[in-house]
């Protein structure tokens, strides 16, 4: 995988621009091995809907309909489908959007939409909440590479090395490759 606080909290997200249809995502929904739950079985939902793992069906996207954890799971599936604006809309449905995982995904989506500095801000908030979260450190390092700040990217690489107890974890390997060749 390579997420702004819009004023939509507290009401139903309009279907316009919230096309959660993932029918074309196919293999993009496979689990990244990043330590989260398996989202490879997350089905595609229509516009204005999110997947409710409790009822095993798509439900209308509105605050309080599904638990926060299910929303972050669905946000990850949307990330894998490269539907970054929709990631933001899903995260805006959360009761507690200030978790390390939600902030990481919000940072990732905003960064991928070209708002790198904003993404870095979310990543840094995530790191403050969970300094041992290797994935956010990987993405923060990538953002620093985009900014041309290799020294800070390497600081994140060293933090990941300490978190993982070595250089063999996926996040470390991904960031090493990204620092060497950001085009990959």
Quick: pLDDT tens for 104-130: 999 999 999 999 999 999 999 999 999
Angle separating helix axes 116-129 and 134-146, nearest 10 degrees: 150
- Between CA 142 and CA 173 the distance in angstroms is 12
pTM of this prediction? 0.73
Looking at the structure of the chain, the number of domains it has is: 2
CA 111 from centroid of its chain's CA atoms: 10
Domain identity same for 65 and 13: yes
Looking at the fold, whether 36 and 109 belong to one and the same domain comes out as yes
CA 81/CA 83 separation, integer angstroms: 6
Q: Tell me the residue range of the domain where 144 lies.
A: 131-184
Q: Is residue 34 part of a domain?
A: yes
Query: How confident is the model over 125-167, as pLDDT tens digits?
Result: 999 999 999 999 999 999 999 999 999 999 999 999 999 999 9
pLDDT reported for residue 47? 65
Local structure of residue 101 (DSSP, 8 states): H
User: Is the CB of residue 136 less than 8 Å from the CB of residue 99?
Assistant: no
- What's the N-to-C CA distance of the chain in angstroms? 12
Phi/psi of residue 160, nearest 5 degrees: -65, -40
Instruction: Give pLDDT tens digits for 40-85.
Output: 456 677 767 777 777 777 767 666 678 899 889 889 988 998 989 9
110 and 150 belong to one structural domain: no
Q: Does 125 reside within a domain? A: no
Tokens 């919230």 -> residue: 18
Q: Are residues 109 and 167 in the same domain?
A: no
Shared domain for 107 and 175, answered yes or no, is: no
Burial class (CB in 10 A: 0-12, 13-18, 19+), 165: exposed
């Amino acid at each position: 995988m390579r997420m702004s606080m819009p004023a939509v909290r507290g009401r139903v997200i309009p279907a316009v621009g919230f096309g959660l249809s993932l029918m074309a995502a196919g293999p993009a929904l496979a689990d990244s091995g990043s330590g989260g739950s398996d989202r490879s079985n997350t089905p595609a939902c229509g516009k204005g809907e999110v997947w409710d793992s409790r009822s095993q069906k798509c439900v209308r996207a509105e605050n309080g309909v599904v638990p926060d954890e299910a929303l972050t799971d669905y946000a990850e599936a949307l990330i894998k489908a490269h539907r970054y604006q929709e990631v933001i809309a899903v995260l805006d449905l959360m009761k507690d959007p200030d978790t390390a995982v939600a902030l990481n995904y919000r940072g990732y989506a905003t960064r991928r939409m070209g708002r790198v500095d904003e993404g870095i801000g979310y990543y840094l908030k995530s790191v403050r909440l969970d300094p041992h979260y290797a994935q956010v450190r990987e993405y923060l390092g990538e953002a620093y590479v985009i900014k041309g700040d290799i020294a800070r990217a390497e600081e994140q690489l060293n933090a990941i090395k300490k978190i993982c107890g070595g250089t063999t974890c996926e996040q470390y390997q991904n960031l090493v490759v990204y620092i060497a060749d950001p085009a990959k």
